[in-house]
Amino acid sequence: MSQRQGQMNIARVKAWIAERDALQDYNEYQRGFKVNRVVLCRELEFARSVVTQNPAVKKALEDAEERWYGVPPEEEPKAIHAARERSEKRVQQSKRQNNQLFDEIAKLKAENAFLRRQLERYQAMEEVIAQTGLCPR
């Protein structure tokens, strides 16, 4: 894109912003705390890359958005977001491991109860054999 075309795009965006200020209809273009870029580009008949690649256009839009919609709440820094995700992942993993351990404990308790009943039975048989010398049926 030529420098002349870039200057024309800046002028068009500034005129569009001035028109929105005059008509007070900028809320119709709001998407979050920004102007809906797709609608803007369609109205001004230029590619979306104009908004992302032309720093003057980008700055003019950011200034207007700040005036119109305010400053968006601060997003979490990426490091904090990543740490939170890792922490949540560890919590989920711990929950899964806890559930597996609880299942294993329940199985072991059931097996222990079964083996204790068998032990009592064999102890009773041993006692009978010791007293009578005969194996009960």
| CB of 37 closer than 8 Å to CB of 48 | yes
Instruction: Let me know whether 81 and 61 are in one domain.
Output: no
Instruction: State mean pLDDT over 43-53.
Output: 86
Task: Indicate if 52 and 100 belong to the same structural domain.
Answer: no
58 in the same domain as 81? no
Which of 69, 94, 126 is the endpoint of a domain? Answer: 69
Q: State what percent of residues in the chain have pLDDT above 70.
A: 93
99 and 137 share one domain:
yes
Distance CA 120, CA 49 (A): 83
Domain boundary (47, 69, 91) is at: 69
Shared domain for 63 and 44, answered yes or no, is yes
Residues 53 and 8 in one domain: yes
* Cβ neighbours for 24, distance < 8 A, ≥ 6 positions apart: none
Instruction: Pick the more confident residue, 104 or 7.
Output: 104
Taking 80 as the threshold, does the pLDDT of residue 64 lie above it? yes
Confidence at 52, pLDDT banded by 50, 70, 90: confident
SS3 for 13-26 is HHHHHHHHHHHCCH
Over residues 89-103, the pLDDT tens digits come to: 999 999 999 999 999
Q: What total number of domains does the chain contain?
A: 2
Long-range contacts (CB closer than 8 Å, 24 or more residues apart) made by 52-59: 54/6, 54/9, 54/10, 56/6, 56/10, 57/9, 57/10, 57/13
Q: Do 8 and 52 sit in the same domain of this protein?
A: yes
The 10s digit of each residue's pLDDT in 8-47 is 888 999 998 999 888 888 788 888 888 888 888 888 888 8
Q: Which residues contact 53 (CB under 8 A, 6 or more apart)?
A: none
Please determine, for residue 76, whether its predicted confidence score (pLDDT) is greater than 80. no
Question: At 35, which helix (H) or strand (E)?
Answer: strand 34-35
Query: In the prediction, which pLDDT does 34 show?
Result: 85
* Same domain (yes/no): 59, 8: yes
Q: 61 and 83: one domain?
A: no
Place of tokens 């979306």: 48
Query: What integer best gives the mean pLDDT of the chain?
Result: 87
- Whether 13 and 30 map to the same domain: the answer is yes
Q: What is the pTM of this model?
A: 0.51
- Which of 49, 69, 89 is the last residue before a domain boundary? 69
85-124 CB burial, b ≥16 within 10 A, e <16: eeeeeeeeeeeeeeeeeeeeeeeeeeeeeeeeeeeeeeee
List the domain range (segments joined by +) for residue 22. Answer: 3-69
Same domain, yes or no: 27 and 54: yes
